[in-house]
């Protein structure tokens, strides 16, 4: 199955079409249907007052149903039995946002009209019209996904308050399915493509909202080297699973270029699905590169994630994103038919020992410089290894056939030029032009190509018109906090010439696919006749992202949070969530959902965060 995303959503859209004018912020005289993060996070008693004001007249005696850890099917059953309404669901969630978000910073904006939309869904239900399993269910979107009733900022200060002129295709799909878009979530600014080396931006930081905090340990890091406000327990990649983990909404939609669904899902004890590129339209999602970008669901259970995936996927290919013709949706876009508790029986699961479980010594070209240990990478610590040994034992108990080892061919290649682990993407100032022979230019080239094409779809009210203008704006607003960690990734992207550097990009892209697909995931799966490969935590995200192939992470337990320097005396870091990942070939989401669901049913290891009871 071929997966080619280069004809992405931005090269096919003209600057006209469905573009309307930008909705002005309220302070500029326009209407405002959203609550900005600064209103949400005012200190003291007023922190949640702006949201609680929305709830006047709705905080009557609630029925026994609570949204905390409630699944989407449980909410639907409760509404069907008249135990609760969609309005009451939204009310509970807005109350929790008001109560907990001052500590967690999960949101960048909250939908003022969420209660009105809930009332509309309740009226439809009373008339016998239920659109599907997301009818009346509150869902949050990463703030790089277009909405026309709330800003879409990407966390970039230049876009603060900017409401785009059109909705993302996936946003429309969710609304058509009856979902209520309750909020926009925090993220690493521009999906973590702002600052790499020498001063990399910490995950889940952005100039609009600052740092966000993991509900499993929502404290800043006290260690001197990290004492800038960053969380002691990372929330993961650039998508935020914080609010879903803390039951601030039912589930959320993230985006993933190099691990930004899988890593935060793992870190927040969630199920995350990074689908095959093209399974979900990228039109209306702020891009890094169409060669690797995708949106995907993050939820507390496999069933909820499967429901959300079906709603995100279009019934037919999106004319604004050619990659959406890659995979054929299941009948009715219903992924719940793949929720089979016995699916592990007879399934062939590969254990890619090299790098993922065991340290590997990498090949070198020319004379070896430095001790051999510097060439060793990967492997697990004792706690992680123990957890994965238990996961493998459970798979065997459930009847799976474990193929061990099932190493990724390009991970063990002794030719340095053919080893995936030595072929990362260029990502910082140390890999600018003239210094980038040993890395793939795919991300930085794609950012220049696709970001400018996306900006062209925003019309005359776009705050900047090119990547160059954004960089200049950031430099002019440095004192306002626009680029706290610099903008080295934007810099190395903007120096790319889309025409003159195309040959280099195409050569690197071919090598990316060779090492990640042919001699990567496909190579292992075809050699050992596997249904999936099993990777620890969020570690499988990078390979799947480079290939554009699906991966699902499932909660499994916790391990000590002991990364980096020692903590000060008296500071006790809380354990870090730790899951397992199932990676498959292109368009294999149905099979992966079967395996993930069966594993989840056999383990049931997710626990709610104590910080948000």
How many other β-carbons are positioned within 10 Å of the β-carbon of residue 176? Answer: 14
Q: What pLDDT score does 342 carry? A: 98
User: What tens digit of pLDDT does each residue of 285-324 get?
Assistant: 999 999 999 999 999 999 999 999 999 999 999 999 999 9
Q: What pLDDT score does 238 carry? A: 81
Beta-bridge partners for 552: 273, 582
The mean pLDDT value for 459-480 works out to 97
Task: State the sign of the Cα–Cα–Cα–Cα dihedral 538, 540, 543, 547.
Answer: negative
Res. 85: pLDDT tops 80:
yes
User: What tens digit of pLDDT does each residue of 322-334 get?
Assistant: 999 999 999 999 9
Q: What pLDDT score does 113 carry? A: 97
Res. 5: pLDDT tops 80:
no
Res. 19: pLDDT tops 50:
no
Question: Residue 494's closest CA among 464, 535, 520?
Answer: 464
Task: State the sign of the Cα–Cα–Cα–Cα dihedral 234, 237, 240, 241.
Answer: negative
How many other β-carbons are positioned within 10 Å of the β-carbon of residue 265? Answer: 38
Three-state SS for 403?
strand
User: What tens digit of pLDDT does each residue of 583-609 get?
Assistant: 999 999 999 999 999 999 999 999 999
Longest CA pairwise span in the chain (Å)? 76
Query: What length is written for the chain?
Result: 613
Q: What is the per-residue DSSP string for 278-306? A: TSS--TTB--S-TTT-EEEEEESSHHHHH
302-312 helix and 169-176 helix, angle to the nearest 10 degrees: 110
Task: State the sign of the Cα–Cα–Cα–Cα dihedral 58, 59, 65, 68.
Answer: positive
Q: Which phi and psi (to 5°) does residue 551 adopt?
A: -145, 140
Q: How far apart are CA 248 and CA 240, in angstroms?
A: 12
CB 234 within 8 A of CB 267: yes
pLDDT over 90 for what percent of the chain?
86
Q: What pLDDT score does 52 carry? A: 57
448: its two tokens: 């220049």
Q: What pLDDT score does 239 carry? A: 81
Q: How far apart are CA 536 and CA 387, in angstroms?
A: 9
**End-to-end Cα separation, the chain, in angstroms:** 45
User: What tens digit of pLDDT does each residue of 363-419 get?
Assistant: 986 544 444 445 899 999 999 999 999 999 999 999 999 999 999 999 999 999 999
Task: State the sign of the Cα–Cα–Cα–Cα dihedral 422, 412, 410, 557.
Answer: negative
Q: How far apart are CA 579 and CA 557, in angstroms?
A: 6
Prediction pTM value:
0.92
The mean predicted confidence, pLDDT, of the chain is 91
Q: What pLDDT score does 53 carry? A: 56
93: its two tokens: 């969630």
Q: Which residue has the higher pLDDT, 370 or 577?
A: 577
Q: How far apart are CA 255 and CA 415, in angstroms?
A: 34
Annotated catalytic residues are 142, 238, 260
The mean pLDDT value for 30-50 works out to 54
Q: What pLDDT score does 375 carry? A: 82
Q: What pLDDT score does 277 carry? A: 98
Considering the domain 26-603, what is its CATH architecture? Alpha-Beta Complex (3.90)
Pinpoint the alpha helices (H) of 150-248: 169-176, 189-192, 242-245
**Range in 55-64, 301-310, 411-420, 570-579 the model is least confident about:** 55-64
Question: Residue 292's closest CA among 327, 256, 261?
Answer: 256
The domain limits of the chain are 26-603
User: What tens digit of pLDDT does each residue of 481-497 get?
Assistant: 999 999 999 999 999 99
Instruction: Provide CB contacts within 8 A for 362, sequence distance 6+.
Output: 375, 376, 377, 416, 419, 421, 422
Torsion of CA 457, 194, 410, 343, to 10 degrees: -70
Question: Residue 393's closest CA among 361, 430, 349, 433?
Answer: 349
**Long-range CB contacts for residues 75-81, cutoff 8 Å, separation at least 24:** 75/136, 75/137, 75/250, 76/133, 76/135, 76/137, 79/125, 79/136
549: its two tokens: 């192939």
Q: Return the H-helix or E-strand segment holding 250.
A: none
Strands (E), 133-256: 138-142, 180-185, 205-206, 210-211, 251-256
Q: What pLDDT score does 366 carry? A: 53
Beta-bridge partners for 211: 205
Q: How far apart are CA 29 and CA 7, in angstroms?
A: 39
């Amino acid at each position: 199955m071929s997966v080619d995303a280069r004809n992405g959503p931005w090269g096919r859209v003209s600057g006209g079409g469905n573009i309307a004018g930008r909705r002005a912020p309220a302070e500029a005289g326009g209407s405002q249907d959203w609550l900005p993060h600064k209103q949400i996070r005012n200190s003291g008693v007023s922190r949640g007052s702006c949201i609680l004001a929305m709830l006047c007249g709705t905080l009557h005696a609630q029925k026994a149903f609570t949204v905390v850890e409630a699944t989407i099917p449980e909410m639907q059953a409760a509404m069907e039995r008249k135990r609760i309404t969609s309005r009451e669901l939204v009310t509970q969630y807005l109350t929790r946002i008001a109560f907990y978000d001052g500590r967690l910073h999960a949101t960048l904006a909250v939908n003022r009209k969420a209660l009105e939309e809930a009332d509309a869904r309740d009226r439809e239900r009373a008339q016998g019209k239920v659109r599907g399993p997301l009818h009346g269910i509150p869902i949050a979107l990463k703030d790089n996904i277009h909405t026309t009733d709330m800003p879409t900022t990407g966390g970039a200060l230049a876009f603060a308050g900017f409401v785009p002129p059109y909705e993302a295709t996936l946003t429309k799909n969710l609304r058509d399915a009856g979902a209520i878009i309750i909020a926009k979530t925090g993220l690493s600014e521009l999906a973590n493509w702002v600052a790499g080396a020498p001063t990399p931006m910490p995950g889940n930081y952005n100039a609009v909202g600052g740092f966000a905090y993991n509900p499993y340990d929502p404290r800043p890091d006290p260690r001197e080297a990290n004492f800038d406000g960053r969380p002691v327990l990372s929330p993961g990649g650039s998508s935020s699973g914080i609010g879903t983990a803390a039951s601030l909404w039912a589930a959320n939609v993230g985006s993933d270029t190099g691990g930004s669904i899988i890593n935060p899902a793992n870190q927040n004890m969630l199920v995350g699905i990074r689908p095959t590129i093209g399974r979900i339209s990228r039109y209306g999602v702020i891009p890094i590169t169409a060669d690797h970008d995708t949106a995907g669901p993050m939820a507390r259970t496999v069933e909820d994630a499967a429901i959300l995936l079906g709603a995100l996927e279009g019934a037919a290919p999106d004319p604004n994103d050619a990659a959406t013709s890659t995979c054929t949706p299941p009948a009715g876009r219903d992924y719940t038919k793949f929720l089979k508790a016995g699916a592990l029986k007879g399934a062939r699961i590969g254990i890619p020992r090299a790098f993922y479980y065991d340290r590997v010594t990498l090949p070198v070209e020319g004379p070896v410089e430095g001790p051999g240990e510097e060439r060793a990478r990967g492997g697990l610590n004792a706690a992680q290894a123990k957890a994965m040994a238990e996961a493998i034992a459970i798979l065997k108990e459930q009847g799976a056939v474990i193929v061990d080892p099932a190493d990724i061919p390009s991970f063990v290649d002794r030719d340095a030029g053919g080893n995936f682990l030595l072929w990362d993407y260029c990502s910082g100032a140390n890999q600018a032009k003239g210094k980038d022979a040993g890395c793939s230019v795919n991300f930085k080239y794609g950012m220049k190509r696709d970001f400018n094409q996306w900006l062209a779809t925003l019309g005359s009210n776009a705050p900047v018109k090119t990547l160059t203008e954004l960089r200049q704006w950031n430099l002019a607003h440095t004192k306002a906090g626009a680029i706290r960690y610099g903008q080295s990734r934007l810099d190395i992207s903007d120096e790319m010439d889309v025409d003159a550097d195309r040959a280099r990009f195409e050569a690197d892209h071919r090598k990316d696919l060779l090492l990640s697909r042919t001699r990567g995931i496909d190579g292992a799966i075809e050699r050992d006749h596997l249904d999936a490969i099993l990777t620890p935590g969020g570690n499988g995200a990078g390979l799947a992202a480079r290939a554009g192939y699906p991966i699902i992470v499932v909660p499994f337990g916790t391990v000590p949070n002991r990364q980096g320097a020692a903590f000060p005396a008296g500071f006790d870091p809380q354990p870090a969530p730790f899951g397992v990942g199932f990676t498959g070939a292109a368009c294999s989401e149905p099979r992966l959902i079967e395996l993930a669901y069966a594993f989840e049913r056999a383990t049931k290891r997710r626990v709610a965060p104590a910080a948000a009871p």
